[in-house]
Amino acid sequence: MGGMNGRPQDWAGRYDPFDRTCPSRGLLNAVGDKWTILIVLALADRPLRYGQIVQAVDGISEKMLSQRLRTMTGDGLLARWAFEEIPPRVDYELTDLGRSLLPVAQALVDWVADNYETVERHHRR
């Protein structure tokens, strides 16, 4: 488990997001983003087109979806497949790296569902 400062004890020589200067914080911010988590889960079973992702992730703006898809593709989490059809078609699919986020994303969403009411009760105090 963690050491006295809350950090895993076996992090010697690895990226340390507890360190404010560590570049891994940017990736932690990206993969911990609510939209990233929901997009990963939406793509869990199959590739989807842009419009299908908009429908699956209720409430995401087209601008935000475009930004997240671009970032996630750049980070290697998604593959983008463009098909020369009329009308043009673009599919997004999780890469192996993106698939490795599935259990983490699902666990986080499950935790939120299991604990939402408890947290809300604390807010009302």
DSSP code, position 7: S
Q: Check residue 45 and give its pLDDT.
A: 98
Q: Check residue 3 and give its pLDDT.
A: 54
Domains of the chain in sequence order: 24-123 (1.10.10.10)
Cβ neighbors of 81 (< 8 A, separation 6 or more) are 47, 90, 91, 92, 93
Residue 23 in contact with residue 88, Cβ under 8 Å? no
Q: Read off the pTM.
A: 0.86
Q: Residues in the chain with pLDDT < 50?
A: 1
CA dihedral sign of residues 58, 61, 64, 70? positive
Q: Check residue 76 and give its pLDDT.
A: 97
Q: Check residue 79 and give its pLDDT.
A: 99
Q: Check residue 17 and give its pLDDT.
A: 84
